[in-house]
Structure 1
Amino acid sequence: MQNTYQNRHGTFYIRLFVPKILHPHVTRTKFVQSLRTKDRKLAYLRSLQISIDFESWVADMTKKLGGDGFRELTVTLPDGVKIDFDLSLAEERSAYEDTIEKIGVFKQPAIALRDVSTDGARYRLTDLFHSYKVAKEKTFAEATRAAYFPRIEKFIEYHQAKGIIFIDEIRKPQASDYREVVIQSQDSPLTVDNYTKTLKGFFDYSIDAGKYPFENPFANMHLVKKSEREKHTDSWLPYSNEEIQLLFVKEFEAYVKRFDKPDLFFAPIISLTTGMRVDEIAQLQVSDVYQVNGTWVFDINDNGDDKEVKTPASIRKMPLCTGVLMTNFLEYHSLVKRKYGETALLFPYLTKTASNGYAKNIGYNWTQYKKKLIVVDQSQKNFHSLRKTIGARMVDMEYDLPLRKRILGHSMSGDITQTVYGKKYELEYIRSCLDKINWEISFIKFQFQFKNDRVLDGLVNKKAINERRKTIKAGSQK
């Protein structure tokens, strides 16, 4: 397929160039449009139809300007045969249309060639942002919207201050200049890349909507290579000792009041003391908490269709350290096991979402709690920072890198020596290492108030009702 390419998501695009003879008479010399498919055959057929519309426009424009209107289009058929057509001749244009019809091209609406003409429509950044927010309102999680939308707003405000109000005024140089502004205001290269990713998504949306006729100006702007991104995860900063004291000790009453559900109450303690990811905690089943030779463990796995792990190295067993055992977590575990069985979720009222798994409410509530107590950029400190905090503590205590990787579930694939010769860490040894970390927190105070065995009934019933409603709604839409 000539003049076509795939973006990193696999979607095909067509790129067409206006002949130099027409450059003085147009506002855009290049036209880029999504073919709205990842299927190569369908993209091939659509590109043919768009090509004839474009070439016809070129021929008409050339004639109006006094040229001969001669313009050839070469079509390569599926069997490899190439046919040249002079689209300025009516009979050859008819033959071309007959040819593409025979190989299965369906007739599409003519391409919006005004985008490359002098009277082309122009689109305001603010209008596109409004439609973008409407489109993403239901597909983005609340936390994602809270992170993405302000970045785009800042981008638009920056360019409005420079007198730029239309999206077609933003090209690669303007995008590059803005990234430099972000670099100056952000400490982490990964945070800068997150800004770039957000703005690239906004322009992808505009391109797909047919409102931006150029290549995405924020494409291929990463400061950090994909292979090196793990090295830069320090964009999530650990909490300081003072912040940990504030979050878990000095504001204990606020903690208990805010986190009135078991997942919200126990998850921060588990993550802080074991380094487990929030989604690893939220998707635990009752059967994933058990004893191995007298040591209680969390079994982090991807057993079943309802579980996911970040990498193969994430599959591991983590001992419950003394801090967790001092709470009434095991009492809670026993309650859920008795009422809902071993195959139930540890937090049986949680509902899985497409973007955040079972962990959406945990992350959101922690962020809201944290925001009232400490002032920090949301993109730098969040629930994941609890995991970063224990990682930093282990570095301070000079724990070996392989041990830290084993606890945090990081891959050993790049460490040949450890992969081949490294020892296996026993659960009891891992627990003793975790217990040596002094958090200066009285974990025994963290006792979730069950009141009675029916504490979860309302939450579980509400989940069942909502799931039935979704099933009925889905059936009515078919």
Structure 2
Amino acid sequence: MRNTYQDRNGTFYLRLLVPKVLLPHVTRSKVVQSLRTKDRRQAYFRSMEASLAFEKWIRDMKNKFGIGDDNRELIVSLPNGAKIEFDLEKATEKDAYESLMGTIAAVPQNGPQIVEQVREATPLPRVPAWATRARLIDIFESYKLAKAKTFAQATQDGYFPRIQKFMDFYRAKGIVFIDEIRKTHASDYRDEVTRLQESPLTIDNYTKTLKGFFDFAISVGKYSFENPFANMHLVKKSERAKHTDSWIPYTKDEIQRLFVGNYEAYCKRFNKPDLFFSPLISLTTGMRVDEIAQLYVSDIYQENEVWVFDINDNGDDKEVKTPSSIRKMPFTSQLLQTNFLDYFHMVKEKYGETSLLFPYLTKTASNGYAKNISYNWTQYKQKLITVDESQKVFHSLRKNVGAAMVDLLIDIALRKRILGHSMDGDITHTVYGAEFSLENIRSLLEKMDWGIDFSKFQFKFKNENVLVGWVNSKAIKARKKALKDALIEKTSKKK
């Protein structure tokens, strides 16, 4: 049967596409109608009846808007190979067609079936490309080709296997066409992922990836229904914080394996400055990964002879988790033992203070500038230690700092200040407290003994132009212009 499909319960549906010439005169591009039966023979006759009514509607609409005839002919192929053509514009042939349909209806269920075709005397193909039924695997191949140009390799490695697993799951159930997938199928698959994954955030990552896949299918005209994975997230954005609280710090033994026992593996995996220095910065200051990744050269300077990271939301491309996240964090002596400052001065001299600290990074909608940092840390970690993915991630380095402060019996107000947590509930400090000095914060952070020789962590620059191959000069210029325009706009508003 042409233009029909069954839902997950076996009920037949008919989908008819409005001709392109009528699209400017209607509000919908297709008609989807339940045939209210699971019996194939009965569905066949009902679909023929509905198709005939649809043809009549097309003719009436064309007459109404003065659209020329496209010489549509209905061809019925009988089991013996004979073909009967009907011109539905002619009353006698239309009556003959309806009479034939009445005769066919009396044939027993196991009788011969009839194949219906529509021939158009136009230069267009018999079945327009945008109306053909597409397989999931074909859409996936197109998706991979399209996204290979916009997704980083790390993103491809994360997204593509999730889509493949989804297709494998439904291929095993006999579903290969994308138009067979409905909201109920998406819900069933999320239940399957939930059975295998404990973390709600991981489950949401699966549904978000599949939503993007179906968005692509819709955009290229291969899926004409509402995105089945829309609004399926388990964790609201406002509730993500409480789920991240489940992350736990690494043990001392794990810290040793990650930073001490496999230094060569560390250097090999983290072959770019953002990947190399970010774990060290987080472990010594407790900074969030996105706070590190979005730093500008101008956010690093000396204050009272103390080198600091100025964490702020200055600029359209920077965000902070909460207002209390805006703070200054001092460099520790451990971090100063690395060659991080050498790298900082090199970027400052080459690209200026308006450049990102890691100028080759690009911002993504979901992970800001930090996506590749988190991904590479996860890949590195998995080869060295065995942990629950939902409990120990890059963020766990920050948890290590928090746990160490608890062990040192540090006052909660100071712990909140270092980690950038809100002090709204701490009335004593909010009303009567004073700002903690950078010297005191640095002294406290340096009391944490990680058992690591930080002087060993020297990023190897092959030559002075090491960044050139990574940095997109156009992106640098665009970023400078955007900052300049934002500054001009802010100045004009003040005036």
TM-score (ref. length: structure 2): 0.64
| Aligned CA distance change for structure 1 residues 209 and 443 (closer, same or farther; 3 Å) | same
Q: For structure 1, which segment, 324-333 or 394-403, has the greater mean C-alpha deviation from structure 2 after superposition?
A: 394-403
Q: Deviations over 1:18-71 (max 9, x none)?
A: 9xxxxx997247999xxxxxxxxxxxxx9864427658x9xxx99977769998
2:361 alignment partner in structure 1: 352
Distance in 1 of aligned mates of 2:475 and 2:315: 25
Distance in 2 of aligned mates of 1:367 and 1:65: 55
1:266 alignment partner in structure 2: 277
The 3-state SS of whatever aligns with 2:319 is coil
Larger radius of gyration: 2
User: What code does the residue aligned with 1:51 have?
Assistant: T
The 3-state SS of whatever aligns with 2:328 is strand
In structure 1, the gaps of 5 or more residues are 1-17, 19-23, 33-45, 72-85, 96-109, 472-478
1:310 corresponds to 2:332: no
1:27 alignment partner in structure 2: 13
User: What code does the residue aligned with 1:352 have?
Assistant: L
2:381 alignment partner in structure 1: 370
Conserved? CA contact 1:188–1:235, under 8 Å: no
Q: For structure 1, which segment, 395-404 or 153-162, has the greater mean C-alpha deviation from structure 2 after superposition?
A: 395-404
**How many residues are aligned here?**
393
Distance in 2 of aligned mates of 1:310 and 1:158: 39
Match among 449, 467, 472 for residue 473 of structure 2: 467
User: What code does the residue aligned with 1:230 have?
Assistant: A
Conserved? CA contact 2:136–2:178, under 8 Å: yes
RMSD (Å), alpha carbons? 4.6
Conserved? CA contact 1:62–1:68, under 8 Å: no
The 3-state SS of whatever aligns with 1:318 is strand
1:346: Cα distance to partner?
Answer: 7.7
The 3-state SS of whatever aligns with 2:240 is helix
Match among 244, 266, 269 for residue 233 of structure 1: 244
1:384: Cα distance to partner?
Answer: 4.0
Q: Deviations over 1:235-287 (max 9, x none)?
A: 76543332211011111343345545554433221111112233433444444
User: Percent identity of the aligned residues?
Assistant: 54
In structure 2, the gaps of 5 or more residues are 5-9, 34-46, 68-123, 478-495
1:249 corresponds to 2:235: no
User: What code does the residue aligned with 1:190 have?
Assistant: L
Conserved? CA contact 1:285–1:342, under 8 Å: no
1:135 alignment partner in structure 2: 146
Match among 311, 320, 333 for residue 331 of structure 2: 320
2:431 alignment partner in structure 1: 421
Q: Deviations over 1:46-100 (max 9, x none)?
A: 9864427658x9xxx99977769998xxxxxxxxxxxxxx9946664459xxxxx
The 3-state SS of whatever aligns with 2:27 is helix
| Aligned CA distance change for structure 1 residues 48 and 310 (closer, same or farther; 3 Å) | farther
Q: How does 1:109-128 map to 2 (within 5 A)?
A: 121-128=132-139
1:203 corresponds to 2:214: yes
Q: For structure 1, which segment, 154-163 or 250-259, has the greater mean C-alpha deviation from structure 2 after superposition?
A: 250-259
Q: For structure 1, which segment, 432-441 or 215-224, has the greater mean C-alpha deviation from structure 2 after superposition?
A: 432-441
1:154: Cα distance to partner?
Answer: 1.0
1:208: Cα distance to partner?
Answer: 2.3
The 3-state SS of whatever aligns with 2:226 is coil
Q: How does 1:158-169 map to 2 (within 5 A)?
A: 158-169=169-180
1:457 corresponds to 2:456: no
